[in-house]
A and B are shown apart, each in its own frame.
Chain A
Amino acid sequence: MAKKLLLEHADVPGIASYEVYRKHGGYASVEKALKSMSPDEVVEEVKKSGLRGRGGAGFPTGMKWSFLAKPEGVERHLVCNADESEPGTFKDRYLMEKLPHLLIEGMITSSYALGARRSYIYIRGEFMYVLQILEKAIAEAYANGMLGKNILGSGYDLDLVVTPGGGAYICGEETALLESLEGKRGNPRMKPPFPAVKGLWGNPTVVNNVESIAAVVPIVNHGGEAYATIGIERSTGTKLISASGNLVRPGVYEIELGLSVEEFIYGDDYCRGIANGKKLKACVPGGSSVPILPHYLVTKTANGDQRLMTYESLADGGFATGSMLGSGGFIVFDEDQCIVRNTWNFARFYAHESCGQCSPCREGTGWMEKVLYRLEHGTGTLEDIDLLEQINKKIEGNTICPLGDAAAWPVAAAIRHFREEFEWHVKSPQEAQTRNYGLIQTPLEA
């Protein structure tokens, strides 16, 4: 079994309590950082670790931290993005539910590194029971002197608050999240200024994903260099993967980056293959926003190399034959699934979740949904397939935030790899209502 840095103690009875968590080495990173390291030294370790943002974008966390503006006399904030809502992603919920103190520990150590004295966890409103778990854990941390005034006698003060959203995917975008945290509609802000300069209430702010903040704990405990020895190339450390769809054993797995995709899907320690003895048809490896891969590009790249669970290998081939690691939302489709139906489903999701601020996204996502509905329900035309590609190009790159791109990419990828299935829906509309297309041929077989 691979090394676990985050979930090692996830199944210890009572680990959600302060006492048990502490007995298993919890809060060591707070002691180490506050007693023997300067804030800049903590930032340095995170830089050395090569940790990349675990929310989906994969931006180096240490670099993001180093951009934080530090004007004299202006308060700074760390905000944890726990608005986990990318379809296919449910790892943060698992981590917070099982190990609330791991997130709180990461928040304290990271806030210390950034000089933040008021930090926030913004959690999606549907996870209200997880919010209650976190609130209880925060109260325990205060009672044990890990939060509040003069933590561990270091002179460092920190207040930590957890607060809910209200059911809006867009609030996972960091500037929309900040708007929401200020008690407003979740409309993303124009950048620049970036949150590192003007964030929450206009103060310099870092927004990090739950898993990124939790990863700071082992990085500080073991050192950034030790963390960087795990993984391959610029994909260092471990990653939580949320596996869903037609798998024997879906769920949350902590993997060492560099594991092969084949081992992850079929290995005994992981998902144990496709459910009900079916064949793999396709895979969306990084949450619904990333390009779908047809079965012949899932475990191998277009060059025939083994595909690995890393930022680089999953992106190998660009959008033509690759995808992205994204949030680690690994969605698997068996041979009975309909790609047109699924593409319509995701398009409906983005149309529903567009905040409506930018016309290309507001109108474009709505039109894509309508056109895909036609194709799925037997009233589409061949021109509709080209129309989708045109709408796509008009959305992509023309919006304030990445939701537009996130809506466009899956549709473009589905048409790129499964055009014959879309065309079949147009040419045989009645048949398409009664059965699914099945596996597409690989280019070599065709």
Chain B
Amino acid sequence: MKAEHPQAVNEAPIDFSAHTMTEIQRVIDLFPAGKQKSAILRILHFVQEEFGWVSVGAMNRVAQILDIQPIEVYEVATFYTMFHLDPVGKNVLEVCRTGPCQLVGSDDIISYIEQTLDIKVGETSKDGMFTLKTVECLGACGYGPMLMCKYKFYEHLTKEKVNELLDAMRDASQS
């Protein structure tokens, strides 16, 4: 199944946890009646937090909840680059590759992570622990090189810091 063409897939909606459902209802209620579609990006973030990625079944469920057509969810999820439309590792390392970070050494950090994890950008490590992605500017230009993982920013990266970070993430994901 290629998630880039979700409309070609007729997948059954999947269930969300009670916590996610409560959060979804809370953010829908932030908008005026009839404007529930405005909550869609926040909801897709909740879905990704629960499952790690956004599957077609999850998108179909979001469409049901918002009472909109599935295509309205697909076209949004495929436009915004934060949403992973394929399964990813437990920790997605999103390293900023844009100019200001490049000036202070992001290229080296990206190659170092590639070497350390023995993967290329876009790939997932064999143990399923890490996916490496490069992203465009995350608005931390004065504190580069930097990466984001699970909405947390890790800044002023060095090779030593990357090592510590990877170890800490392994520990946290195994416990």
Segment of A118-126, A381-389, A394-402 in the binding face? A118-126
> Given contacts A90-B141, A164-B41, A349-B99, is CB(A185)–CB(B79) below 8 Å?
yes
User: Do B45 and A288 touch (CB < 8 A)?
Assistant: no
The answer, among B38, B82, B83, B99, for a CB contact under 8 Å with A126, is B82
Asked whether B139 lies within 8 Å of A333 as measured between CB atoms, the reply is no
Give bound CA distance, A127 to B137, whole Å. 12
Report chain A residues within 8 Å CB of B120.
none
CB-based contact A244/B41 at 8 Å:
no
In the complex, which of the residues B32, B80, B99, B141 contacts A342, with contact meaning CB atoms closer than 8 Å?
A: B99
- Within A184-226, the residues touching B (CB, 8 Å) are 184-186, 201
A291 vs B137: C-alpha distance when bound (angstroms): 18
In the complex, what residues of B have CB within 8 A of residue A260's CB?
none
Residues of A within 8 Å of B151, CB to CB, are: 126, 128-129
CB-nearest residue of chain B relative to A350? B136
Stretch at the interface among A81-89, A99-107, A424-432: A81-89
> Any chain A CB within 8 A of the CB of B140?
yes
**Among candidates B39, B98, B103, B152, residue contacting A183 with C-beta atoms closer than 8 Å:** B39
When the two chains form the complex, which single residue of A164, A284, A341 contacts B45, counting CB atoms closer than 8 Å? Answer: A164
Which of B30, B35, B81 has a CB less than 8 Å from the CB of A168?
A: B81
In the assembled complex, the Cα of A355 lies from the Cα of B80 at a distance in Å of 10
For the complex, is B24 an interface residue (Cβ under 8 Å from A)? Answer: no
The stretch of A38-46, A245-253, A306-314, A436-444 in contact with B is A245-253
A186 to B30, Cβ gap below 8 A?
Answer: no
B88 within 8 A of A: no
Give every chain A residue within 8 A of B100 (Cβ-Cβ).
87-88, 244-245, 329, 331
Which one of A84, A164, A186, A201 contacts B139 once the chains associate, using CB atoms below 8 Å?
A84
User: Which residues of chain A come closer than 8 Å to B76, judged between CB atoms?
Assistant: 166, 183-185
Contact A85 B137 (CB under 8 A): yes
B44 close to A (CB within 8 Å): yes
Q: Nearest B residue to A355 by beta-carbon distance?
A: B79
Q: CB distance B82 to A252 under 8 Å?
A: no
A362 at interface, CB cutoff 8 A: no
Q: Is A345 interfacial (CB-CB < 8 Å)?
A: yes
Interface membership of A299, Cβ < 8 A: no
Residues 52 to 87 of chain B near chain A (Cβ within 8 Å): 66, 72, 75-76, 79-83
On whether the beta carbons of B80 and A165 are closer than 8 Å, the reply is yes
CB–CB B136/A342 < 8 A: no
How many Å lie between the Cα of A84 and that of B44 in the bound state? 20
> Is residue B6 contacting chain A, with contact meaning CB distance below 8 A?
no
With contacts A166-B82, A244-B144 taken as known, whether A331 is within 8 angstroms of B41 at the C-beta atoms is: no
Interface string of A319-357 (1 = CB under 8 A from B): 000000000010111000100011001100100110100
Q: Are B82 and A183 in contact (CB under 8 A)?
A: no
Most chain B C-beta atoms within 10 Å of own C-beta, residue among A86, A118, A244, A252: A244
Tell me, in angstroms, the Cα distance from A93 to B151 when the chains sit together.
14
Determine if B159 is an interface residue (Cβ-Cβ < 8 Å): no
Closest to B32 in A: A118
Contact: B99 with A346, CB < 8 Å? yes
User: Is B104 on the interface with A (CB-CB < 8 A)?
Assistant: yes
The digit string for A350-380, where 1 denotes a CB below 8 A from any CB of B, is: 0011010000000000000000000000000
Chain B CB within 8 A of A415 CB: no
CA–CA, A89 to B137, complex, Å? 9
Minimum C-beta distance from A180 to chain B (A): 7
**CA A332 to CA B102, docked complex, whole Å:** 12
Residues of A within 8 A of B153 (CB): 129
Whether a CB of chain A sits under 8 angstroms from the CB of B138 is yes
The answer to whether A269 has its CB under 8 Å from any CB of chain B is no
B38 touches A182 (CB 8 A): yes
Output the least CB separation between B142 and chain A (Å). Answer: 4
Chain B residues, Cβ within 8 Å of A246: 103-104
A14 part of interface (Cβ distance < 8 Å): no
A90 to B155, CA, bound (A): 13
Q: Does A267 contact B (CB under 8 A)?
A: no
Name 5 A/B residue pairs within 8 A (Cβ), A-sorted: A164-B41, A169-B136, A250-B142, A342-B102, A346-B98
Query: Lowest 9 CB-CB distances: which A-B pairs, in order?
Result: A166-B80, A183-B37, A167-B82, A244-B141, A250-B142, A244-B100, A183-B40, A185-B79, A128-B151
In the complex, besides A166-B44, A166-B80, A166-B81, 7 extra interface pairs with C-beta distance below 8 angstroms are: A87-B99, A88-B99, A90-B141, A118-B32, A163-B41, A244-B141, A346-B98
